[in-house]
Every structure is written in C-alpha cells, then in structure tokens.
C-alpha cells in the first residue's frame, strides 16, 4: 500500500508542476483531465502527508522517552505518543478506504425511475411520496432535478415517474437507493383501519454520455404527438411529445414534460442512452457475481432494501440493520444518515474482501 502511495505522491507532484507551466490551459481537454486527476489525488496526498507526520511524531516521542530523565517530560511524551499512534491508525484506515477501486460512474448525474409495485392505489401514493422525498433531498444538496416522464392517478399518486438529478457525485450517493421500498400503514383508501403493506421499486441509473453508448439511427423510430394530461399552454395544442422506440432491445421512451419538441427529444435520448448503458453494466455485474455480492444494494433491484413503518414512525434499512425513529424527517428528504451508513458498510465489506484476498 505504501509503495502505491509513494507513486501517487510522485504523480501528484508531476501534475502540479504541469499545471504551473505556461500555456497549459491552451489544450482544454488535457487541462480538464489534469484538474480532474488533481482533484482525485488531493485527498489521498493530504491524508498520506498527515500520516507521515504522525509517524514522525511517534519517532520523536519515543526518542524523548529514551533520552529524557525528567518524569514530567516523560509523561508529556507518553501522551503525545498515544495521540500520534491513534492518529496514525485512524489515517491508515482512511487511506485504505481512499485507495479502494472507485466506481467509474460515481461522478455522473443520475436518472431515477420509481414504479408503484404491489398495493394498487396505495402503492402509487407511496411512489409519489418517495419521489417527493428524493426531490427534497436533491434540493438539500443543491442538485438540479428535471422531470422526464410521469404517469399519475387521480388521487395524487404516481404509477411511475422518471426524473434526472444533475449534481457532482450524484450517482456515488443515489446508487444505494436502488431496490424495493416497502411501506406499512393504514391507507387513506382503507375504511376498516387495517395496516396494509405496499411497495414501490426504485432504479438509479448513471447518465450515459455519447462516448459511453453509441446509438445507430437505423435502430431508432421517432414518433411525435400531442402531449396529454396536466400542463401549460402547449399541452394538447402542439406536437411536442416524443416517443422513441429502440428496435434491438424493445425499449420505448416517452417524453412530454417540456413545451419544446426538441427538449423532449433530448431528454428521451438521454434516458435511452442511460438505459442501454445500464443494461451493459448489469451484464458486467452478472458476470462479476462475487463483486456484486460484496456491495451494499447497488446491483439487485429485486432486493427489498427498506421499510417505512408509519404506525411506529420508524424506517429500517434491511441491508445494514439500521433503524431510525424519524420517519417524518426522512419522508421530507432527510436521508443522509441512511446513505452515510450504507457507504460505510459498503466500504467495510470491500476492505474485508481485499484483506481476504
């Protein structure tokens, strides 16, 4: 590990020297790559430099204990030694986590699909609440959201909803939300006061760029039509809605949330690219079954990941055994504590697997 850290330290210094050269910004592609590499290496280099300082503090304290005869100075050196050892252990663990292989999709924007599952109208109502939960969470992170597709029911529920989240590192956080979300409560539609269990499924897909997925125009049929449902002046009056059909996979994308046909077309193609890219990623996950099992809920979308129990005001994440009694706050977008716990558990599993290997 430390040989690798020394190599990274050399690479970081090379990048810094290059960035200080005159005219380096003339080649924008090269400049952007250098800046990205620098940003990725900075936390590792800073932690490693601090680790080396802690190791030096340990040596200095041991030297004082060997040479010093004054008891008061020895006691002070012992305290500094214990602090330096604890800090070195903490930094070594941090460095192991920083050196874990990074998911290449972590920095990407995401497309989130929520679909009502078992439970009829109650499942659609729950799907709408999960959608609003993510919108509030995105707002708290200052991320931008865009609605792509939505099929509503009359009582305020959603059979399905697809939206984009644009923000730095969105996939690195939101990927832990993929799976089956379960709600236990007395539905508004229930007159007998019985608790029902309903579900919705969440799929979090990294946004794919043109370089990730190439789409052959011959494989696509594009239909334009008038939008339907609630909306502004252009709904039902112009052919602004766009439907894409991808022949090889049978994927159909429908986009009508924008007034402009061009904007709806761009959104539809973005969603199609993401779905095709996600299919490729799923194939790789299936081929690397052991790697997927070492992750916390980022692969199998049929997995029941979380239960929202309204009578008891609790939320339980089944993957990590975490239960929180702050349902109202969570439904209002306060899910950071759950996500942080998932990230920590994921890192711990990966570290354990690395040590076994």
Mean pLDDT of 278-306: 61
Q: Which residue has the tokens 């040989």?
A: 3
At the top level of CATH, the class of 2-98 is mainly alpha
> Any idea where the domains of the chain sit in the sequence?
2-98, 104-357
In sequence order, the β-bridge partners of residue 280 are: none
Candidate from 10-14, 256-260, 263-267 with smallest mean pLDDT: 256-260
The pLDDT value given to residue 184: 93
Tokens of residue 63, six digits: 């030297």
The number of CA neighbours under 13 Å toward the Cβ of 71 is 0
The pLDDT value given to residue 294: 45
The pLDDT value given to residue 279: 79
Distance CA 101, CA 291 (A): 12
In sequence order, the β-bridge partners of residue 160 are: 115, 151
Q: Where do the H-state alpha helices sit in the chain?
A: 2-19, 28-67, 71-98, 120-140, 170-174, 261-287, 289-293, 327-331, 336-356
What's the gap between Cα 220 and its chain centre? 30
pLDDT band at 295 (very low <50, low <70, confident <90, very high): very low
Residue of higher predicted confidence among 53 and 220: 53
Strongest mean pLDDT among 149-158, 213-222, 330-339, 344-353: 330-339
In CATH terms, the fold of domain 104-357 is: Alpha-Beta Plaits (3.30.70)
What is the DSSP annotation of 86-140?
HHHHHHHHHHHHHTSPPPTTTTS-EEEEEEE-TTHHHHHHHHHHHHHHHHHHHHH
Distance CA 87, CA 337 (A): 25
């Amino acid at each position: 590990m430390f040989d690798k850290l020394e190599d990274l330290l050399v690479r970081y210094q090379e990048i810094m020297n290059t960035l200080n050269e005159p005219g380096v910004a003339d080649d924008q592609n090269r400049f952007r790559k250098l800046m990205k590499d620098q940003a990725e290496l900075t936390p590792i280099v800073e932690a490693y430099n601090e680790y080396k300082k802690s190791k030096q503090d340990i040596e200095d304290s041991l030297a004082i204990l060997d040479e010093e005869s004054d008891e008061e100075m020895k006691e002070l050196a012992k305290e500094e030694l214990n602090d330096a050892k604890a800090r070195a252990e903490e930094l070594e663990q941090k460095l192991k986590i920083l050196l874990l292989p990074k998911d290449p999709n972590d920095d990407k924007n995401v497309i989130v699909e929520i679909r009502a599952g078992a439970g009829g109208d109650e499942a659609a109502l729950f799907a709408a609440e999960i959608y609003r939960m993510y919108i509030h969470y995105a707002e708290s992170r200052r991320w931008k959201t865009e609605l792509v597709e939505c099929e509503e029911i009359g009582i305020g529920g959603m059979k399905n909803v697809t939206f984009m989240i644009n923000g730095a590192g969105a996939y690195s956080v939101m990927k832990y939300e993929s799976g089956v979300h379960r709600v236990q409560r007395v539905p508004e539609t229930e007159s007998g006061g019985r608790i029902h269990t309903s579900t919705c499924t969440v799929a979090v897909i990294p946004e794919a760029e043109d370089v990730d997925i190439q789409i052959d125009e011959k494989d696509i049929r594009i239909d334009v039509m008038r939008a339907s449902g609630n909306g502004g002046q252009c709904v039902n009056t112009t052919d602004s809605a766009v439907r894409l059909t991808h022949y090889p996979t049978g994927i159909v994308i429908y986009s009508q949330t924008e007034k402009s046909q061009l904007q709806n077309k761009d959104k539809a193609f973005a969603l199609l690219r993401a779905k095709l890219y996600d299919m490729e990623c799923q194939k790789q996950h299936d081929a690397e079954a052991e790697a997927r099992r070492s992750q916390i809920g980022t692969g199998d979308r049929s997995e029941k990941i979380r239960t929202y129990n309204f009578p008891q005001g609790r939320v339980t994440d089944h993957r990590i055994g975490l239960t929180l009694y702050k349902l109202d706050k969570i439904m209002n977008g306060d899910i950071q504590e759950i996500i942080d716990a998932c990230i920590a558990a994921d890192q711990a599993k990966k570290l354990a697997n690395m040590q076994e290997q």
